[in-house]
Chain A
């Protein structure tokens, strides 16, 4: 895309060296007269700046660390680094405005594969990614798939927020459940007992970027349902999807909290921490809040001692998880592409990245597989199940590719709404499937 004309002439590093060379030689050889002869003012180092937009991390120490690292790199590289943090749900609007108006941050953090909607407006960062892969080993497959479009990297895979089930052990036991259900049907059966005791399963099917996607996608996959096949054809209208939808209606009515239809990402955390629900699909945030803020249970004991982390139940097609990836993209409008690349490369070096992950208390895992062996997991042993199921995820749009349309399906909450239609009683499973197929076909055009 053509670069926008700007009234300000940017000085690249090459220009800078050339001009300082000429002016320096002129000054050294001829003094002030030489400068006048060269008709070029002496050039002093122009302060470069870098604007990095990312989410406000759940884990405040991770924010402290990224700000510190920005400052450290800025001093080393003589670049003024501005790190701006906003609520994750607000990033799509900021990114859309920045990319459409070709002004704004030099680096933007994207979730899922959101950035692929702007693939042509993003700098190809394949060189950074292949360099990191050859140095540290490979990426987790779905992180790589989410960060690529048409055979090139549109963003550098950075971190993953893993999601499995978080459970109150005492509530399960009180209802007579001895082990975490292995299948969705067992979960429905046991969940019915929990609901009867006043502590149902809490699950959002609302329009929210994290928990709704993290539950819906693997749930449908575990029944053998998919948006598209490997060739990109929409195949949602299958008997597997219909079975998943029919079962979800029963699961919802029997075992789930009906309020979940309108929940956002924070609602299940709040419900769990206040003792309203037995289980919910979530990132490590519930555990970390209970631990860091010393939340107590009904008996006055620390709640963390009553929390279990367990995998998703299996469907007819097996066990699936969805852990949302986070990646760093550089828009083409940036005047600081080289500095942005240098900064991202530096952030991903082991020294910096290990500190970032550890300060974040294992809330995020790394997109590079090598960090699954990091000592961080021994520092937070209760969170090890997140690591153990990290490789069981898939990318958005699976079995098709994680292209721009797959990102649109996520951002329009199409699959989530297919479940929400059932939860709210708005449609029957057959109607919801037909509606969802129509939505997917209009997005994918096939």
Chain B
């Protein structure tokens, strides 16, 4: 429901809220629109500068003609609109890459959240010596770029200490690698968040007989849920988009994740298969966009602190 302040005119609302919001939405959604439009154009049309680049002309013409004639021709729609989508989904292993991406991202996010929550709670609540320094050091490890780490890590992943097993070419190579940058990030984010929750709430629970673990699970975690969700969303996005480790550690096409699979299969020499690349990019961004849209309120709350005064 739109709340209108006293004395606020329609013109003022249009100028102050709606117009800026309209441009903001246009700006935010344009990349998605561009991906969609390019994925619906034939290669010939993509390279044709004589036609309107913002509309998939051949596709739109086909659809309009069929609507006018009330004669549905699925084959024509497929050829003029969804040719690249068909190629992506039928001739590449895109669906498999999407499954791999989701599997790797979900598992590594859960591992990182578990480790991050426990580490952050300890840093925020257990006043041991050097807690602050340790917190800073953990965050610094997040800043070490993967380009420095991928060579030593490939040695470790190829011959796991103690187990003497190679995880190369398995999704588990990524699941054990991604927490190396996700845990420091989650810990740093959640440490700050836990500190915004008043200690007195836990202390009251502990006076009533709860143990520290119970107080953490029953009192702190529910209050910290927005922060946990924020950390989870960041972790999921970072691991779903990761490229370098996925490129180095995975060999088989069927084990690849979306970022690597799409680049490996759809960039051939100096020719980019734009239609399929854009279809893949659009489809690959859907899970992340869905997660953000479901949890956006918690996410915003997570960025602004737990308990408001």
Contacts and interface: CB of A to CB of B under 8 A. Distances in A.
B272 A270 contact: yes
Contacts of A104: 168, 251
Interface string A77-121: 000001011111010011011101111110000000000000000
A266 B273 CA distance: 10
Chain A CB within 10 Å — which of B48, B158, B271, B272 has the most?
Answer: B271
Contact of B264 (A85, A101, A102): A85
B276 to A, nearest CB: 12
Contacts, number: 102
A379 interface: no
A191 interface: no
Contacts of B168: 103-104
A60 interface: yes
B50 A90 contact: no
Contact of A103 (B154, B253, B265): B154
Contacts of B268: 56-60, 63
B267 A285 contact: no
What's the interface size class on A, roughly?
A: 35 or more
B248 interface: yes
B44 A58 contact: no
A211 interface: yes
A295 B248 contact: no
B247 A211 contact: no
Contacts of B251: 51, 82, 84, 104-105
Q: Considering residues B44, B159, B268, B270, which has the most beta carbons from chain A within 10 angstroms of its beta carbon?
A: B270
Contacts of A38: none
A273 B47 CA distance: 6
B164 A7 contact: yes
B242 to A, nearest CB: 14
A276 interface: yes
Contact of A296 (B48, B155, B166): B48
B8 interface: no
A97 B49 CA distance: 42
Interface in B239-287: 244, 247-248, 251-253, 263-265, 267-272
Given A57-B269, A283-B270, A94 B247 contact: yes
A93 B272 contact: no
B151 interface: yes
B244 A93 contact: yes
Given A56-B265, A97-B248, A289 B271 contact: yes
B263 A90 contact: yes
B103 interface: no
Interface string A193-212: 00000000000000000110
Nearest to B269: A58
Contacts of A265: 269-270
A100 B154 contact: yes
A283 B269 CA distance: 10
A58 B267 CA distance: 8
B50 to A, nearest CB: 6
Interface residues of B, number: 31
Contact of B269 (A56, A102, A105, A274): A56
Residue of A56, A59, A82 most packed against chain B (CB within 10 A): A56
Contact of A274 (B49, B267, B271): B49
Interface string A207-222: 0001100000000000
Nearest to A294: B44
A274 B47 contact: yes
A275 B49 contact: yes
B52 to A, nearest CB: 14
A327 interface: no
A293 interface: yes
B234 interface: no
A112 B87 CA distance: 33
Contacts of B164: 7
B170 interface: no
A93 B49 contact: no
B43 interface: yes
Contact of B151 (A51, A97, A211, A363): A97
Contacts of B46: 274
B150 interface: yes
Nearest to A300: B50
Given A82-B251, A93-B248, A298 B50 contact: yes
Contact of B47 (A59, A84, A85, A295): A295
Interface string A49-68: 00100011111100100000
A287 to B, nearest CB: 11
A58 B49 CA distance: 24
B270 A285 contact: yes
Given A86-B264, A94-B248, A276-B49, A363 B269 contact: yes
B44 A101 contact: no
Interface in A1-27: 4, 7
A98 B153 CA distance: 11
Contacts of B47: 270, 273-275, 295
Contacts of B244: 93
**Residue in A59, A90, A97, A103 with the greatest tally of chain B CB atoms within 10 Å:** A97
Contact of B44 (A51, A90, A295, A363): A295
Nearest to A51: B251
Given A60-B268, A97-B154, 11 more contacts: A59-B268, A101-B155, A161-B269, A266-B267, A266-B270, A270-B272, A273-B47, A274-B49, A283-B269, A283-B270, A285-B270
7 contacts: A56-B265, A58-B270, A59-B269, A88-B269, A103-B159, A210-B269, A265-B270
The 10 A-B pairs with the shortest beta carbon distances in the complex, nearest first, are A58-B269, A265-B270, A101-B155, A103-B158, A97-B154, A101-B154, A274-B47, A273-B47, A100-B151, A97-B248
Interface of B: 43-44, 46-50, 150-151, 154-155, 158-159, 164, 166, 168, 244, 247-248, 251-253, 263-265, 267-272
